[in-house]
Amino acid sequence: VQVVESGGGLVQSGGSLRLSCVVSGSTFRTDDIAWYRQAPGKEREWVAAISWRGEITHYTDSVKGRFTISRDNAKNTAFLQMNSLKPEDTAIYYCEEWYGDWPRGHPVRYESFYWGQGTQVTVTS
């Protein structure tokens, strides 16, 4: 299985980036997907998640209204559209394929399957 994130880069505050996560060799179409990020000196932080059908999404409060997670199961690809970026969004962003449940629309992770190597996002003020 290979998980490859891309789309990161250097952007000014207020700008946008679209991250992609391509998964090959897994049961992508029946697994949930999440995006995490890790800033220098900080722990990895969960950012957003999407159910395997794509009908349920959930976001951490700090990105609500600015980030949008989506997926294209035909292409085994997940996306994270990031708008109105802030310097505090600077981090390495990781994609995770996982299995869980969504009681009342909130993700509960039972098992983590695969992670990518991450893509760097840097937002300058």
d(CA 37, CA 33): 14
Is 48 buried (19+), middle (13-18) or exposed (0-12) by CB count in 10 A? buried
User: What does the pLDDT read at residue 27?
Assistant: 86
> Is the distance from CB of 23 to CB of 114 less than 8 angstroms?
yes
Predicted local confidence at residue 123, as pLDDT = 98
Query: What is the DSSP secondary structure assignment for residue 27, as one 8-state letter?
Result: -
CA distances from 60 to 25, 34, 48, 50, 51 (A): 29, 11, 6, 12, 15
Q: What is the pLDDT of residue 29?
A: 86
Q: What stretches in the chain show pLDDT beneath 70?
A: none
According to the model, what pLDDT value does residue 102 have?
95
Largest CA distance in the chain: 40
Q: What is the pLDDT of residue 107?
A: 93
